Amino acid sequence: MQVFSDFFTVWIKFFFILTPFFVLSYFLVMTRKMNPLKKTALAIRVTLAVIIICSVLYFFGNYIFSIFGITLDAFRIGAGAILFLSAVDLVRGTKSGMAKEDGGDIAVVPLAIPVTVGPGTTGALLVMGAETTELHTRLLGCGSLLSAILSVMVLLLLATHIEKLIGQRGLTILSKLTGLALSAIAAQMIFTGIQNFMK
């Protein structure tokens, strides 16, 4: 029972860090002229790209820190600040800087990076991956991360139906709620980093 509770806790963190409803809104905009078959294929390609990117960030965070001589707590504060700014953008509805469709393949850029895995998400994944050193917690985190990414994939596969069900206004509201959850996660990262520095 404790394992399930821990899994759900980590899963919900990863799910919101991936800003699923903002990704869904952007996916709908970018695929407006696509037929259902192409939308499905694109959603699967985006998911595969995100799995690869997130796995690298999650499993190699410690090595990245050691190469650049960055302490985990320093990165916690920096990543938390960036994640907080992303959260503010979501709440205000001003998240920008995304590449526009140019007729090429949009699965990796911009849908995987930077829409799904932006700067704030990158920092959070590096920190969360570096925090897990024991095998069972790493496996738990890996399973939770994969489940969160697959949950986002389900949203993308059902994008058209979700839009019909709740409308664009509903998606905007959900994006803002995601921003609020992200701001809490960011604040906790910053607080933990500062607290450890003060010890």
The band of 1, judged by pLDDT with boundaries at 50, 70 and 90, is confident
d(C-alpha 100, C-alpha 156), whole Å? 18
Q: Does residue 76 have a pLDDT over 60?
A: yes
Reduced to 3 states (helix: H, G, I; strand: E, B; else coil), residue 6 is: helix
Top-confidence residue, 101 or 143: 143
pLDDT digits (tens, 9 = 90+) for 40-60: 999 999 999 999 999 999 998
Q: What is the dihedral of CA 73, 79, 84, 90, to 10 degrees?
A: -160
Summarised one tens digit per residue, pLDDT across range 123-175 is 999 998 888 878 888 899 999 999 999 999 999 999 999 999 999 889 889 98
- Asked, as a colleague might, if the bond just before 36 is cis with ω within 30 of 0, I would say no
According to the model, what pLDDT value does residue 35 have? Answer: 94
* Continuous H helices in the chain: 2-17, 20-30, 36-59, 61-68, 72-92, 119-131, 135-157, 159-198
Dist. CA 20–CA 43, nearest whole Å: 13
Q: For 19, which DSSP code?
A: -
Question: What are the residue ranges spanned by the domains of the chain?
Answer: 2-198
